[in-house]
Homo-oligomer: A and B are copies of this chain.
Amino acid sequence: MNHPRAFPEALKRPVPEALLTALRTRFGERFSTAHAVREHHGRDESPFPVTPPDAVVFAHATEDVAETVALCRAHGVPVIPYGAGSSLEGHLLAVQGGVSIDVSQMKRVLAVNAEDLTVTVQAGVTRKQLNDELKSTGLFFPIDPGADASLGGMAATRASGTNAVRYGTMKENVLGLTVVTAEGKVVRTARRAKKSSAGYDLTRLYVGSEGTLGVITEVTVRLYPLPEAISAAVVSFPSLAQAIDAVIQIIQLGVPVARCEYVCEHSIRAINAYSHTTLREAPTLFFEFHGSESSVKEQAEIAQQITREHGARDFDWATHPEDRTRLWTARHNAYFASLQVRPGSRAVSTDTCVPISRLSDSITGARRILDSAKFPTMIVGHVGDGNFHAVLVVDPNDEQEMAEAERLNDAIVRLALSMDGTCTEEEAGDDALDLMRRIKRALDPDDIMNPGKIFRM
């Protein structure tokens, strides 16, 4: 998404007392205009200033969402969906004011279809909760963006994660959605069957739409059998380039790695301090292999051989589940660890993805760009997919620093785009943006659905 600060012209819209009264009457204690509640719903894990909504509705069911949207629409008031609040990019900030619809209490797993490898959940179910509830089935939901995000939020932001190399992103794993439209109507985008051939792919249109076309209230996703065998390994390298070249070769050989993460030496140092680990402070790859016993062994052997050829210094195995959990928890906490290197800081992060053949150039280029920064910077990434994050640890109250971060960010994005890459910043051409705007206008003519996100209308 664009940064909210890119919308200085955005004006808070008036929220009539009549709407607040109607919502209070309808939802009672599940409606709030309390300062603390609004503040809580006006910030996420992004570095942007708190931008609270005018009111919050705690929804328990799709119908609650539909009624709230219908009421807001009648008054021309924006609605902003709120899930786990774990966005790193300001998706839930109420940049034009309005009503935040908190779905975090919509936590029911509605239908596990173990035979079909599908599950339907309410939008507030988080990925950890889901996997806990699936434990007895021998199945799991693999998408793992780090945070314990809600499935509604993951769908709305088209979340990816450490497992994407093998299992894909939300784009590939959402089979259907229940969505409340800007008119307050309830639409089911698809049935549970794997192939749908009737009409436009509404599911994929809503996946990644960031609440701008409707509010996602239920999500059906694909599940996978828990692998028979799993092993993980940490490998450190003398240089960034060697690590990335090893990744490229492993991916190009078609090794079906389940996870392949790059963590730079600065990030390892932060992780060691935060998670009390003793990882070698060097450019590092984290691997995980899933499959049958023999397939995991085969994958690991190939990866070991290739990393050695690229100068790897260690190849530490984590075969016990507890060791693996510790390892991935440490990796997941990299973001929070980065904040700890500088008290009071916030992290600005860039999310870019390039074709795997350009990964080495793109990531070493990003490193060079970051080297000029006066504040701590790190690079971590789901490199198996060509996807990496530059993390800039800034003082949010220092305007110069924020401007500098934006400048570096832009340079990294431009570099990625020049390599046929993509990023969360604007990538589409003007004509493509025009098509998107026309879709937005067609489905949300009053611009009440999370306005100010994705693009300026």
Residues of B contacting A188 in the complex (Cβ-Cβ under 8 angstroms): 429, 432
Across-interface contacts of A190 in B (CB, < 8 A): 422
Q: How far is the CB of A221 from chain B (nearest CB, A)?
A: 13
Known: A115-B248, A187-B431. A422 touches B202 (CB 8 A): no
The answer to whether residues A205 and B200 also contact, given A431-B181, A432-B189 and a CB cut-off of 8 A, is yes
Complex Cα distance, B331 from A450, in Å, reads: 50
For the complex, is A7 an interface residue (Cβ under 8 Å from B)?
Answer: no
Q: Are A442 and B438 in contact (CB under 8 A)?
A: yes
Q: Among residues 238 to 271 in chain A, which have CB atoms less than 8 Å away from a CB atom of chain B?
A: 248, 252-254
Tell me whether A426 and B193 are in contact (CB under 8 A). no
Q: How far is it, in angstroms, between the C-alpha of A207 and the C-alpha of B196 when the chains are bound?
A: 12
**A195 & B385 in contact (Cβ 8 Å cutoff):** yes
- B198 to A426, Cβ gap below 8 A? yes
A406 sits at the interface (CB 8 A)? no
Q: A357 at interface (Cβ–Cβ under 8 A)?
A: yes
How close is A179's CB to chain B, nearest CB, in angstroms? 9
C-alpha spacing A434/B195, complex, angstroms: 21
Q: Interface size on A (CB < 8 Å)?
A: 83
Closest to A382 in B: B195
**Which interface residue of A168, A191, A357 has the most chain B CB atoms within 10 A?**
A191
A132 on the B face (CB < 8 A): no
Instruction: Tell me, in angstroms, the Cα distance from A423 to B294 when the chains sit together.
Output: 39
Give CA–CA (A353, B176) in the complex, Å.
14
Decide if A225 is an interface residue (CB 8 Å cutoff). Answer: yes
Residues in B neighbouring A199, C-beta threshold 8 A: 208, 426-428, 432-433, 436, 454-455
- Nearest CB to that of A164 among chain B residues? B195
Contact B208 A205 (CB under 8 A): no
* Measured CA separation A453–B49 after assembly (Å): 48
Chain B residue nearest in CB terms to A249: B115
Compute how far the CA of A367 lies from the CA of B373 in the bound complex, rounded to whole angstroms.
69
Please name the residue on chain B nearest to A175 by beta carbon: B355
Say how far A442's CB is from chain B's closest CB, in angstroms.
4
Asked if A298 is at the interface (CB within 8 A of a chain B CB), the reply is: yes
Does A9 make an interface contact (CB < 8 A)? no
Are B441 and A198 within 8 A (Cβ)? no
Q: Which of B248, B424, B433 contacts A197 (CB 8 A)?
A: B424
State the Cβ distance, A349 to closest chain B Cβ, in Å: 12
State in angstroms the CA–CA spacing of A188 and B431 once bound together. 9
Q: Report yes or no: A115 in contact with B252, Cβ–Cβ below 8 A.
A: yes
What are the residues of chain B within 8 A of A454 when measuring CB–CB?
A: 199-200
Q: Say yes or no for A122: interface residue by CB 8 A criterion.
A: no
> Which chain B positions have C-beta within 8 A of A181?
431, 435
- Cα A93 to Cα B167 in complex, Å, equals 39
User: For A425, what are the chain B residues with a Cβ–Cβ distance below 8 Å?
Assistant: 198
Instruction: Identify A295's interface contact among B295, B351, B357, B385, CB under 8 A.
Output: B295
- CB-based contact B422/A193 at 8 Å: yes
Which residues of the other chain, B, contact A324 by a CB distance below 8 angstroms?
none
Instruction: Give bound CA distance, A248 to B196, whole Å.
Output: 19
Name 14 interchain pairs, CB-CB below 8 A, sorted by A.
A116-B358, A158-B197, A164-B195, A169-B195, A171-B204, A181-B431, A193-B387, A194-B353, A197-B423, A198-B422, A198-B425, A199-B454, A200-B454, A204-B204
Q: Which 9 A-B pairs have the closest CB atoms?
A: A204-B204, A115-B357, A442-B442, A116-B355, A225-B254, A193-B353, A195-B353, A438-B442, A198-B427
Q: A195-B422, A295-B295 are in contact. List 11 more A-B contacts (CB 8 A).
A: A116-B358, A158-B201, A160-B197, A192-B420, A196-B427, A197-B208, A198-B422, A198-B425, A202-B435, A204-B205, A292-B298
